[in-house]
Homo-oligomer: A and B are copies of this chain.
Amino acid sequence: MQQLEFELTKEFRDRFQEALDQRDQTFIVEALEHVKAADISALLYEFNSEESKYVMGLLSLGTQAEIVRDLDSDTRANFLKIYESNEIAGIMNQMDSDDAADILNELPIKIREEVLSILDIELRIQVTELLRYEENVAGGLMAKELIKVRVNWTVVQCVEEIRKQAENVTKFYTVYVVDEFDKLLGRVSLKEIMIADARKTVAEILEQDIVYVGTYLEDTEVADMMRRYDLESIPVVNVQGQLVGRITIDDIVDVITEQAEEERQIMSGISENVEEDDSVWRNTRARLPWLLIGIGGGLINAKFMGLFEMELQRVTALAFFVPLIQATGGNVGIQSSSLIVQSLANPGFVVEGLWPRLSKVFLVAIMNGFFLSILVFGANYLLFNERSLSLIVSIALFSVVIFASFIGTITPLILNKLGFNPALASGPFITTTNDLLGLTLYFFTVHLLL
């Protein structure tokens, strides 16, 4: 068996570049013979479009299709610019309908129409249907390639039909069973077909209790279902209950990965889908909105502290503890919201009521707040030797922990209720709010006790 760990070393890259410069066909073909398409994709990021196209030309159309599919969408859009429409169609003819539809969607409208018009007739029909759906619903994720049999057939007929259909379907695990109107009735597993007596009918080995989704179900919900039921593929039906496609787990893995990435961006205050290798301008633009919110919060903070200028003039040391109060409020708030976001994302758990949730958060906050306040009181007393100021800081800190926990808990719940992504609450939003909250509580305590 061939070793497949393909590692892109600098040596290999340089040797490959050399071969490319000399158009050394033999070397390139041999070098890539046992390399998987996904690894060739990664390699092509190293070369310019013309060079990549030359390499592609030495590979089979099937491999070319896999490579194009594996490129990330920005790179792909750029790369395909140097291809003619008929070249794109030639490659696309080797793809599954869902991948072809996704890529068509990225092309400029004129090219899209051209390519579509010269695709193989069968693929064209399938793709045209898929183009109707939004990207982030079941219809936009599904592929048209699947294997289906009629409920009244025998197992022998089934096997014949499967042999015929299987040539066009790259990944198949399940055989779907439909009636004469294409209405989904259930499925039979390949295993069942291989084990079953050849004279039985499909109806006899039919598994009826299967999970399916409608074309308009959101991708994240499809992901939740497939994850919950450990499915490797799920059939998609239209409103009439007819089988129109199937979604495979590899697409769902992508959905889950993208979801996690989106959440990370939201949590870190990045407002559009941006990657490190996007342009400087795009990177700047993606960061600005949340920075501006932070700046807005900072200016309000400044104005607010201005109200206490007298107190600050009297006891300058008051200002020393603003960072401590604010940092703790921010940390507590993000911890709280993050736990709620996690619960909301975890479909295995039953939704608890608001009150048990809050009372628990409250208890945790009291424990943390109490512990931290005592500690800070001790530390302050040792560091600054100021009893009344230390007391004020500790009392404010305690209240900040309680309030920040509360806000961190209800914000994601409210956002979720209103249909926003609850992870928004773990981003700079909660930090900015909690900064203001911390300052208010601190100076309120100062005002009461100093």
Contact = CB atoms under 8 A, between A and B. Distances in A.
Interface of A: 1-2, 4, 8, 34, 36, 38-39, 41-42, 45-46, 70, 72, 159, 162-163, 166-167, 169, 171-173, 184-186, 190-191, 194-195, 208-212, 226-232, 248-250, 252-254, 256-257, 259-261, 263-265, 267-270, 274-277, 280-281, 283-284, 287-288, 290-292, 294-295, 297-299, 301-303, 305-306, 309, 312-313, 316-317, 319-328, 330-332, 334-335, 337-343, 345-346, 348-350, 352, 357, 360, 363-364, 367-368, 371-372, 375-376, 379-380, 383-384, 426, 428, 431-432, 435, 439
Copies of this chain: 2
A364 B284 contact: yes
B305 A360 contact: no
10 contacts: A260-B263, A268-B334, A277-B343, A294-B331, A295-B327, A298-B321, A301-B323, A305-B323, A326-B327, A331-B431
A371 B316 contact: no
Contacts of A211: 4, 36
B287 A364 contact: yes
B210 A191 contact: no
Given A8-B350, A210-B4, A229-B38, A327 B294 contact: yes
A70 B70 CA distance: 33
Given A191-B166, A291-B328, A280 B360 contact: yes
A254 to B, nearest CB: 8
Given A321-B302, A340-B276, A350-B8, A1 B210 contact: yes
Contacts of A186: 1
